[in-house]
Amino acid sequence: MPFFSVVIPLYNKEKHIKGTIKSVLDQSFGDFEIIIVNDGSTDNSATIVDSIQDKRILKFDIENKGVCHARNYGISKASSKLIAFLDADDYWYPFHLSDLKKLYEEFPNCGLYAKAYFKQFENVKIASIFNKIPQTENWMGIVDDYFASSHINCIAWTSAVMVPKSIFKDVGNFDEKITMGAGEDIDLWMRIALKFPVAFHNKVSAIHMLHAENRISNTNTNLRQFIDLDKYNPESQSNKSLKTYLDLNRYSIALQYKLAFNNKKANDYIKNLDSSNLNWKQNLLLKVNSRLLKILFQLKFKLRQKGINLSSYR
């Protein structure tokens, strides 16, 4: 039994999958298996995987049913007790798994183990900022308040987390009703954080690649099935940081609908959030009309290309 099972869902990532797999094979801790779930790719992704010779790589070809189904399928095939996730166009530094191993051995009774990460657009790396996390170099510990710590950037990001396989039996797997990029990962991490401690290591060891071709088109927003935030309302009544976290996600979804010129759906989310949980920039953006909002987001995209990262979350 390997120490880790690394689950990689794969759909049409021929430009990136070789580098992603290499970042796993280059890990300083090598006791793992790589479970690649080819989710009906129509490009050369599967052929590239087949060309990489390493007995730790297991590839499964399935009918295209979306990233949640692919991840759940990978979990079902994992032989390890510990599942690490990696998207097919993201990358790990060579010490990522060794750091997760240290984190697990130091705090063996957690439901979620998370590492810090960079967001990278072209050649620009953007550091993720977390609330209420010590800035001490190489800090490891139990997160006091998962939701409060995730108000700027989420503590847990899919390509930088590890989950014990037994946890899925308790909280369930990825919700396959939620569309990719519509909160399917956030939903699972919330379910875990509400029931189990979360351990965090603040040394960056993963890179989230923000490829231009990965940006979800606004024209698809109206077809997407978003996370059901309202199901967490009972817990939020006695959990202020959870309520704020839910409202920040409502704000994010409302902006997506405004960018898609669907003000009716945007207002459905706006009316269910407490504006006092948002900062002045967020409240202002919710009042901006869709055309101006689109111009502002295009400007943000161009500034990011120049290494200037603007965010309404801080």
Ranges assigned E (strand) in 122-231: 124-127, 140-142, 161-164, 198-209
In this prediction, residue 279 carries a pLDDT of: 94
> How crowded is the C-beta side of 260, counted as CA atoms within 13 Å?
20
In this prediction, residue 202 carries a pLDDT of: 95
Asked whether the beta carbons of 195 and 233 are under 8 A apart, the reply is no
In this prediction, residue 23 carries a pLDDT of: 97
The CA distance from 89 to 45, in Å, is 11
Q: Is the dihedral of CA 253, 254, 259, 263 positive or negative?
A: positive
Asked whether the beta carbons of 247 and 273 are under 8 A apart, the reply is yes
Backbone angles phi, psi at 133, to 5 degrees: -115, 130
Asked whether the beta carbons of 8 and 88 are under 8 A apart, the reply is yes
Distances (CA, A) of 88 to 45, 46, 56, 222, 241: 10, 12, 17, 26, 32
Q: Which residues contact 289 (CB under 8 A, 6 or more apart)?
A: none
Which secondary structure element, helix H or strand E, spans residue 171, and what is its range? Answer: helix 165-171
In this prediction, residue 217 carries a pLDDT of: 46
Asked whether the beta carbons of 215 and 129 are under 8 A apart, the reply is no
In this prediction, residue 127 carries a pLDDT of: 79
In this prediction, residue 197 carries a pLDDT of: 97
The list of the chain residues with pLDDT below 70 reads 211-219
> Encoding tokens for residue 66?
């979306």
In this prediction, residue 219 carries a pLDDT of: 53
In this prediction, residue 93 carries a pLDDT of: 97
Ranges assigned E (strand) in 3-139: 4-10, 32-39, 57-62, 82-85, 91-92, 112-121, 124-127
Q: Which residues contact 182 (CB under 8 A, 6 or more apart)?
A: 224, 225, 226, 227
In this prediction, residue 297 carries a pLDDT of: 86
Q: Which amino acid is at 56?
A: R
Q: Look up the pTM and report it.
A: 0.93
Q: Which amino acid is at 87?
A: D
Distances (CA, A) of 86 to 6, 71, 305, 312: 7, 10, 25, 27
In this prediction, residue 180 carries a pLDDT of: 79
